[in-house]
Amino acid sequence: MRAVVQRVSSAHVTVAGRVVAQIGRGLLVSLGVERSDGPADVTYLVRRILGLRIFEDADGKMNLSVGEIEGAVLVVSQFTLCGDARRGRRPSFAAAAAPEMALPLYNSVVEGIRESGVGVATGEFRAMMDLVSVNSGPVTLLLDSEKRI
């Protein structure tokens, strides 16, 4: 499971011109589910996302988590994160999980964040979405449950 985590001042996602989710200060998480993923990958990513201390404290140091600043998380499915572009010009998405496998794992990540008490919003799974965000810092991190990055 792969995630791109961005610290944002705000973010929203639209589908067919309609805003389906939005957050203020918090984290934008683009999530890709691979065929080899399972519950352990969900647990790992939820723990890492919620534990990231990337918000500034009173001294201006990145020392606070999204929960500590009472921020929110916007989770958007993005199977292209599982793409392999090492050869040729067209990426291979062979490692991406099929939708019927990816959706329950995606929902488990969302539910894990929600259970922590942090507000969570989502895009629409399998929809063509437009995502608008204001990356604060900018701060962007890559997480991989296989620990490849």
Q: How far is CA 78 from the centre of its chain?
A: 9
CA distance 46 to 27: 12
Are 6 and 135 in contact by the 8 Å Cβ rule? The answer is yes
CA distance 138 to 30: 16
Catalytic residue positions, numbered: 78-80
